[in-house]
Each structure stands twice: as C-alpha cells, then as structure tokens.
Amino acid sequence: MFVRGLKRKCFDGEEDIEGTLAGIKAIPSYNLQRQSLLDMSLVKLQLCHMLVEPNLCRSVLIANTVRQIQEEMTQDGTWQMINTQSTGQASLDRLVSTDILCRSSREQAEGKHVPGYGTFNKDFEGDQGQDSSETMSTGSSVQAPRNLQGNVWEMENPQESKGNFQKSLDQIFETLENKSPNSVEDLFSEVDNSYYDLDTMLTGMMSNTKMGHCDGLETFSSPTNTASNSNCKSDLNELDHIVEILVES
Amino acid sequence: ADIISTVEFNYSGDLLATGDKGGRVVIFQREQENKSRPLSRGEYNVYSTFQSHEPEFDYLKSLEIEEKINKIRWLPQQNAAHFLLSTNDKTIKLWKISERDKRAEGYNLKDEDGRLRDPVRIKELRVPILKPMDLMVEASPRRIFANAHTYHINSISVNSDCATYLSADDLRINLWHLEITDRSFNIVDIKPANMEELTEVITAAEFHPQHCNVFVYSSSKGTIRLCDMRSAALCDRHSKFFEEPEDPSSRSFFSEIISSISDVKFSHNGRYMMTRDYLSVKVWDLNMENRPVETYQVHEYLRSKLCSLYENDCIFDKFECCWNGLDSTIMTGSYNNFFRMFDRSTRRDTTLEASRESSKARAVLKPRKVCTGGKRKKDEISVDSLDFNKKILHTAWHPTENFIAVAATNNLYLFQDKIN
C-alpha cells in the first residue's frame, strides 16, 4: 500500500511533471502567438504610407493592442520567462527575425534619420514649455534600444524596459501633437534640407516657409482651430526613427 | 470606374448619389412611370456626373489629401433644385444640382452662337423667347467648408432644422451653418492635452432625425454618446452613454478592435439607433443605455479567423448599415460580396450576393449560406473560400420602398422587392 502510494505519488509526480512540462510547452505556444501578434502590430505601426496621412483610428487600435499585450506580458512576468528558459529555436528565431526586420529598415534610413533625429532633439531643447518632458522621453527612447536589446538577450529588469517601451510607443502619437507656433518655426529653420525626399517641392517650401507659415496660421482662424499647427517633415523622420526603436524591442 | 466609397438616396428616393475614390459624384434618377415601358418604373439612370473633389497637397504637413468622397448627404428639397453635401478627408462642399430645359433665344446684343453683334447693324429690337431644349443637368458648388478639420472627416449629418449640419473627424465634431463657410462651432473635442494619452477616437456621428438639439457619436472602443446641444456649448459631457458590458468569456487581444463601431444610424422614427461593429449589428433603444435591445450576428464564423483578418488588415474594414423605411428590417454588408438583411420582427435573416453571375436582370436572388464547419452542403460556401477582397461596405435603402443600392467595390447594384 505504501509502495503503491509511493508509486502513485511518483506517478502523480511524473504526471505532475509531465503536466508542468505540458504546461510549459503550452505556454510558449501561447507566448509565441502573443509575441508574433506583438511583432505584427509593431510592423503595422511602422509601415505607414507617409505620403498620405495614416489612418488615426487604425493606429490607435493597433497601439492599444500592443499596450495590452505588453501589459499582459509584464504581468505574468513573461519577459523574464522567455529569457530564463533558453527557449527552443523558435522564439530565438522570432527575436532574430524582428531584429533583421528593424536592421534592414534602420540601414536604409541610417543616412538621414540619425542626424535628423539629433537635430530634432536639439530643437526641442531650445523650446520652452512642455518640451522638458518631451526631451526626457526622447532621451530615454534613444536609450531604449540598448536597454530592450539587453533585456532580450540578457536578464534585466522588465519594469524599466516597460517604461521605455511605453514612452517609445507614446512617441508615435507625439508626432500628431500640435506644436506651438514658435517651436514649429524653429523646427523649420533648423532642420536640414538634405533629408527631404521631395527636393524640388520642398526647397521651394523652405524659402517660403517663414512667410507662408504665418499665412497658413491666419487662414486657420476659425474658433475651432487655434492650435491646428501642423507637423513638419522632421516629425515624420522622427516617427520613422522612433518606430525603428520600437521594432528593435 | 472607380471604387465606390459612399451611397445615399435622397429624401424622396428619386435620386441616388454615389461618391467614389476618384472624387467623382454620380447621381442616378429613377425613371418615371411610363405606359409604353411598364417595367421601366424603378430603373435608375444616370442623371448627373461631376467632379466634387480634387486631390490636394497639404504643404505644411507635406502630405497628400485624398480626393476620395467619404460621405454624401442630401438636403431636404426646398425648391426645384437639389442640394447635397459631399466631403473628403478635409473639405465639405455644398453642391446644387439643377435642371435646365429652356433656353432663351433672340437676344439683341449677341448671336445665337454667342458672338457679339455689331451695334451699328442692329436695326430693330426684339424680345427674347424661351424655347425648350434638351434637358441639361448642371452641378455647381455653392459653398466650400474648409480648414476646420485637422484629422480625417468620417461623418457629416444634416440637422432636422435644415439650416445646420455637423462634421466629425477622429477627434472633433464641428457644427456648421449651411450659409456660413468661414467659421464653425466645435461641439465635441476628445483630443487629450497630451497626445500620448490618446486611446479612443470618434468613428461616426449623426443628428437625431427629429430633435435638432440631439446628436450621437460612436467611438473606437464600442461606446456611443448621446449629446444635447442645449446643455452646454461644448458637448464634451454626454447626456447618455451607451455601452454593452464585455462578455469576459470571449475576451481576446482583438476584443477592442472588433468592438470599434464603424457606423451609427438613427431609425426613421427616432426611437432607436443601430450600430455596426466588426462582427455584429446592434439595435439600441435610446432610453436604455446599458445594453442593446437587439443584436444580430453578421458573420460570426469570422471570430475564429480574427488573427488572419488582423494580419491582412480586414479587421479594420468599416462596414455601414441601414434601416428600411419602416424600421422593420436592417441591412449591412459582409465579405465575398455578400450582404445581410435582418427582419426585426421575425428575427429571420437572409444572406444575398451582389455579383454579375448571380444577378441577371430581373432574376430573383438566391439566398446564400456560409458553411461554418463539418460537411459542406451543396450551394454552401466554406469560410476559407470567401473572397475578402470583395467587401460590401456601403449599402442604402430607399426611404419608402423596398429598393436597395449595394456598392460592391466599383460596381453598383440595385435590387428591388419581387413584383408579381
């Protein structure tokens, strides 16, 4: 009886272990699904056709999905879990493929985006008001790739990466934020021409911009639209760069 | 022909307007009763075509503004001319469509071909006479309402007072007077002070058909807010808030996306409103905020395919819905050129297909069925065979008769009730 009990215990234990193993096997597939959904969402956010304004509703819904996944992943500590397991080829491949994704896009954009981003950062620092928080979050998101990269390959504090991730995600919406008239003018004055694709059109724009900009503001004189100052090309460049950072994560 | 982006009957149902991706508006007119061709009653023929919007370039943002017509709304007819509002992402235009079937002849100062006559040669005066001419339909832009929307306009709605209308974009709703183009009132603004906190956008808005002070707007989180313009100038605080509590058992990562409302329409009698989300249509009683009174599943078989539909972006498709004149039946579109009708009293539903093969002129449409699993019966179509590129997003129902207009990509189908 005792033996049987023992045996049963062993069997149960085995079963338990099997169960746990099965559980662990089951969890990675849910994790894999979740991870692939996360990757897909980040790619979707990145692939905005920048000639026409991206659909805000779609972007908001995708961003909310990303946040939801990220929250769930932090809640059940899966950030840690994926790393500690030294998981099978599949998840590493997945992480690699994400890296390749962002590497290819980063490489092609490297020439124009990095200096452009730096310039943009500088412009923000030059302004007053809400810019301090923006500079901070901008600064932290620059570090984000290193932090998050580290998190993936080593074992770091997931909380920190979550914070950076959150800020990086929010950067996407920053480009849609209305800037005060002064800052927009400053941005126009300091951003380098060479990053623009549409050279012929935009060189014309640059020379007119100081005057045209004010006129543009005047026509927006309806009571509804005092703050409808638009984003500039550097915003779009920054968006590209920020989303690359996100994809790296 | 371009992809049709909006379809709308006018108040009498005699005119049917369509807008397309190329910024064109095509108006069809119903044939009048004709003794020599008794079956011609009910046919719609092209009445007028005009270019409503052109592509523009926003120089400040370095972005194109699409000329695609997002919505057309007719004004109630007040004289011989017809008026409609058409909008793209940024600009709303009021168009006047008028007929000309007479021409003045016998001018003194100019010839029949318009050349000026030499005054020396004119020996006598004559009175110009009106003579009939071939019917000409002219469309002219009467008002242009521009520069009031930072984000993309998704809805316009004419008020029952026939003097004002609202336009809604992703974050704001503006109230206009039809006569005044250089300013509008902002009545809803959900833009957060910090754009980083943005989690919800406006997806549709409509004025109540009878109460000129009431309108509703729907959101990407599946909620509807009813606002009363008498309570405050800025209607950021709703009078009623409609939301169905989420079913925890069906929660997934896609729950929020599929709950996003793509269309909201008041019933003709003004007692109900209907909302369309990705998988269902819901009818709400305006007096009950905590849940809809009726829910109809449009294509529940897609629930297990949400991940693929997310991947190919179909999950973001915005389907519209409409009521029939008596508010007894509702209609909405689906994939594979299917559209669905739900009879509210009998709870019976029908699936029909808008395609050339299945719609010979005067042929009765055969009901279609999607096979959800197991053995596929003859004539059924399996979920995996559905063509997700053939989507019916825009449908319209004649205000009084059983005529429906269904837009299938770049084709417009008109169906009517069987006549014996």
Q: What is the ipTM of this complex?
A: 0.91
- Sort out which chain B residues have CB atoms less than 8 A from A51's CB and list them: 63-64
Q: Which of these ranges, A28-42, A52-66, A221-235, B51-65, has the smallest mean pLDDT?
A: A221-235
In this prediction, residues B322-350 reach a mean pLDDT of 96
Q: Do A57 and B203 touch (CB under 8 A)?
A: yes
Dihedral Cα B297, B319, B265, B238, nearest 10 deg: 90
Structure tokens at B363: 């042929």
To which H or E segment does residue B224 belong?
strand B224-228
Sign of the alpha-carbon dihedral angle for B184, B186, B192, B194: positive
Q: How confident is the model at residue A171 (pLDDT cuts 50, 70, 90)?
A: low
What SS3 class is residue A119?
Answer: helix
| A51–chain B Cβ distance below 8 A for any pair | yes
Q: How far is CA A229 from CA A170, A232, B28, B319, B389, in A?
A: 20, 9, 41, 32, 37
Which band of pLDDT confidence, cut at 50, 70 and 90, is reported for residue A237?
low
Q: Please check whether residue B332 is in contact with residue B339, taking contact to mean a CB–CB distance below 8 angstroms.
A: yes
Domain boundaries along the sequence of chain A: 54-81
pLDDT band at B32 (very low <50, low <70, confident <90, very high): confident
Q: In what order do the strands lie in the sheet with B338-343?
A: B321-323, B329-333, B338-343, B349-353
What average pLDDT score do residues A184-190 get?
Answer: 42
- Reduced DSSP (H G I as helix, E B as strand, rest coil) percent helix, strand, coil of chain A, to 5: 80, 0, 20
B315, B303 Cβ separation under 8 angstroms: no
Once rounded to an integer, what is the mean pLDDT over residues A50-59?
81
Give the position of tokens 């559905």.
B386
Q: A230 vs B61: CB contact, 8 Å cut-off?
A: yes
Of B323, B140, B166, B312, nearest in space to B229 by CA: B166
Tokens at residue B375, please? 């053995």
Integer angstrom CA distances of residue B383 from A121, B156, B281, B303, B316: 50, 35, 20, 11, 19
Residue of B nearest to A225 (CA): B148
% helix / strand / coil in chain B, to the nearest 5? Answer: 10, 45, 50
Q: With contact defined as beta carbons under 8 Å apart, do B2 and B24 qualify?
A: yes
Which residues does chain B have within 8 Å of residue A226's beta carbon, measured at their own beta carbons? none
pLDDT at B326 over 60: yes
| Residues of chain A found within 8 Å of residue B64, distances taken between Cβ atoms | 51-52
The C-alpha angle with vertex B46 and arms to B15 and B71, in degrees rounded to 5, equals 55
Residue pair B397/B409 in contact (Cβ under 8 Å)? The answer is no
Q: How many residues does chain A have?
A: 249
Query: Which residues in chain B have their CB less than 8 angstroms from residue A170's CB?
Result: 196-197
d(CA B398, CA B151): 31
Give the DSSP letter string of B69-136: --EEEEPPP-SSSEEEEEE-SS-EEEEEEEEEEEEEE--SSB-TTSPBPPGGG-------EEEEEEEE
Touching check for A53 and chain B: CB below 8 Å? yes
Q: How far apart are CA B270 and CA B281, in angstroms?
A: 17
Sort out which chain A residues have CB atoms less than 8 A from B307's CB and list them: 33, 37
DSSP character at residue A219: H
Look at strands B380-382 and B369-371 and give their pairing.
Answer: parallel
pLDDT category, B110, cuts 50, 70, 90?
A: confident
What percentage of chain A carries pLDDT values higher than 70? 18
Task: Select, from the ranges A128-142, B224-238, B284-298, the one with the highest average predicted confidence (pLDDT).
Answer: B284-298
Give the contacts of B162 (CB within 8 A, at least 6 positions apart). B75, B76, B78, B178
Chain segment B386-400, per-residue pLDDT in tens: 999 999 999 999 999
d(CA A243, CA A50): 13
> A162 pLDDT band (50/70/90 cuts)?
very low
User: Which one, of B227, B277, B58, lies nearest residue B151 by Cα?
Assistant: B58
Nearest CA distance, A194 vs chain B (angstrom): 15
Residues of B in contact with A47 (CB under 8 A): none
pLDDT attached to residue B86 = 98
Coil, helix or strand at residue A82: helix
Q: How close, in Å, is residue B292 to chain A by CA atoms?
A: 23
**Integer CA distances (angstroms), A157 to A79, A247, B247, in order:** 9, 19, 34
Query: pLDDT: is A150 or B231 the higher one?
Result: B231
CB contact under 8 A, B62 and A228: no
A111-125, B27-41, B84-98: the lowest-pLDDT one: A111-125
Cβ neighbours of B254 in A, within 8 Å: 65
Name the least confident of A84-88, B131-135, B187-191: A84-88
Nearest C-alpha of chain A: how many angstroms from B102? 41
Contact criterion met (CB below 8 Å) for A218 and A14: no
| More confident position, A25 or B199 | B199
Picking from B65, B184, B195, B313 by the largest number of A CB atoms within 10 A of its own CB, the best residue to mutate is B195
Average pLDDT, chain B: 93
pLDDT tens readout for residues B64-109: 899 999 999 999 999 999 999 999 999 999 999 999 999 888 888 8
| B199: chain A residues, CB-CB within 8 Å | 60, 63-64
Instruction: Give Dmax (Cα) for chain B.
Output: 92
Phi-psi region of B18 (alpha: psi -120 to 50; beta: other; left: phi over 0): beta
Report chain B residues touching chain A, CB-CB < 8 A: 58-64, 66, 89, 147-148, 150-152, 170-172, 174, 182-186, 194-201, 203, 220, 253-254, 256-257, 260, 307, 310-311, 313, 316
Nearest Cα residue to B222 out of A71, A57, A41: A57
pLDDT at B205: 98
| Residue ranges of A 178-217 with Cβ closer than 8 A to chain B | 178, 198, 202, 205, 212-213, 216
Q: Which residue from A40, A51, A174 is facing B195, i.e. has the nearest CB?
A: A174
Nearest to A57 among B196, B201, B254 (CB): B201
Task: Mutate one of B89, B149, B150, B304 to test the A interface: name it (highest A CB count within 10 A).
Answer: B150
- pLDDT for the residue A8: 43
Residues of A with CB below 8 A from B148's CB? 222, 224-225
Half-sphere exposure of B205 (CA within 13 A, CB side): 30
Question: Among A57, A178, A202, whose Cβ lies nearest the Cβ of B220?
Answer: A57
Share of chain A above pLDDT 90, in %: 10
Contacts of A210 in chain B (CB under 8 A): none
With CB atoms and an 8 Å threshold, state whether A60 touches B174: no
* Rounded Cα distance, B394 and B408, in Å: 8
